[in-house]
C-alpha cells in the first residue's frame, strides 16, 4: 500500500526566514510525485510534478527536490502570501489513483 | 486554464436524504475523481472514473455511488445521508496518467448533514 507522510504538521516562519517541508513516501514504482498548495476554503492548486530521483523544479520562492524516499519543498525568503497548506501526493506506475499526505500548514508572519 | 466547477460551495441536508453533488470540467479530461477531506485524515478517494459510464471504487466508497453519463460531468450521490458524511468534498480531473498529468481540483463543496 502506498504511503505518504508529511512533516512538520504545522510550521510558523517569520517573513524572510527560509525553511523546508518534508514528504516521505513508499510506493511500488513511482510514476510521479506531486506538490499542491491549498488555501483555506479552496481546492488544492497544482505546483510541481517530479518523476525521478535527483530532479528539481522551481517556481518563484519554491523549489521541490526528489530522492528515492522523500521530497523536499524548500521555501526561500517566504512572504505572508505563501501562507497555505502544502500537500504532497504520489502515483504508482500502472495506477490512475493518487495517494495524498495530510499536509503541512505554513504560516508566514510579517 | 483548467476549470473544474462544483455546483455548490455549501450544502446543508438532513439525515436520510439522498444528496447529489455535481462536478463539471471543461478540459476534455478522461479521468475524474471524488475525494473527501477531513482534518487529520487528508484527502481520501471515494470513487473515480476513467471514461464515460466507467467507474472504480476508491478507498472509502461505502455509502456513496457515482454517475458519469457525459465526459465533462461526474456526480457523487449519497444514497441515504448520515452525519458521518459531513465533510468537504473535492472533485478533480486529469488526462490519463500515462502522460504524468496532475489532477486539477474544484473549490470543494462543504456538506453538513444534520
Q: What would the pLDDT profile of B13-45 be if each residue is shown by its tens digit?
A: 999 999 999 999 998 999 999 999 998 898 999
What distance in Å separates the CA atoms of residue B73 and residue A67, rounded to the nearest whole number? 37
CB contact under 8 A, B104 and A34: no
Q: What is the mean pLDDT of residues A81-103?
A: 92
Q: In this complex, do A32 and B45 lie within 8 Å of one another by their Cβ atoms?
A: no
pLDDT classification of B101: cutoffs 50, 70, 90: confident
Distance of alpha carbon B4 from alpha carbon B6, whole angstroms: 7
Q: Do A43 and B43 touch (CB under 8 A)?
A: no
Q: Is A32 on the interface with B (CB under 8 A)?
A: yes
Name the residue of chain B whose CA is nearest to A6's CA: B42
Given an 8 Å threshold on Cβ–Cβ distance, is B31 in contact with A46?
no
Q: Residue B33 is placed in which grid cell? A: 475523481
Q: Measured between beta carbons, which residues in chain B are less than 8 angstroms from residue A98? A: 45, 103
Could you tell me if B96 lies within 8 Å of chain A, comparing CB atoms? yes
Rounded Cα–Cα distance for residues B109 and A81 (Å): 24
Q: What is the pLDDT of residues A12-39, one digit of tens each?
A: 999 999 999 999 999 988 889 999 999 9
Q: pLDDT tens digits, residue range B47-97? A: 999 989 899 999 999 999 999 999 999 999 999 999 999 999 999 999 876
The alpha carbons of chain B give a radius of gyration, in whole angstroms, of: 13
Facing A102 at nearest CB: one of B40, B103, B106: B40
Inter-chain residue contact A31 with B100, CB threshold 8 Å: yes
Beta pairing partners, A107: A12
- Distance from C-alpha of A105 to C-alpha of A10, rounded to nearest angstrom: 5
The three grid cell numbers given for residue B100, joined into one nine-digit string: 504524468
Amino acid at each position: 500500500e502506498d504511503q505518504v507522510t508529511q512533516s512538520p504538521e504545522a510550521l510558523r516562519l517569520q517573513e524572510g526566514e527560509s525553511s523546508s517541508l518534508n514528504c516521505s513516501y513508499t510506493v511500488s514504482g513511482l510514476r510521479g510525485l506531486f506538490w499542491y498548495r491549498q488555501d483555506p476554503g479552496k481546492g488544492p492548486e497544482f505546483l510541481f510534478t517530479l518523476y525521478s530521483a535527483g530532479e528539481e523544479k522551481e517556481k518563484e520562492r519554491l523549489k521541490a527536490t526528489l530522492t528515492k524516499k522523500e521530497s523536499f519543498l524548500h521555501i526561500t525568503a517566504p512572504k505572508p502570501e505563501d501562507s497555505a497548506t502544502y500537500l504532497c501526493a504520489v502515483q504508482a506506475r500502472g495506477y490512475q489513483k493518487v495517494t495524498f499526505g495530510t499536509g503541512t500548514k505554513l504560516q508566514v508572519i510579517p | 486554464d483548467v476549470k473544474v466547477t462544483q455546483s455548490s460551495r455549501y450544502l446543508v441536508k438532513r439525515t436520510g436524504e439522498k444528496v447529489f453533488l455535481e462536478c463539471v470540467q471543461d478540459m476534455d479530461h478522461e479521468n475524474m475523481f471524488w475525494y473527501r477531506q477531513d482534518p487529520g485524515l487528508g484527502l481520501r478517494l471515494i470513487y473515480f472514473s476513467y471514461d464515460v459510464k466507467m467507474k472504480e471504487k476508491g478507498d472509502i466508497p461505502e455509502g456513496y455511488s457515482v454517475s458519469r453519463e457525459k465526459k465533462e460531468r461526474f456526480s457523487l450521490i449519497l444514497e441515504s445521508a448520515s452525519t458521518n458524511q459531513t465533510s468537504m468534498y473535492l472533485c478533480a480531473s486529469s488526462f490519463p496518467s500515462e502522460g504524468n498529468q496532475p489532477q486539477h481540483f474544484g473549490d470543494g463543496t462543504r456538506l453538513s448533514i444534520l
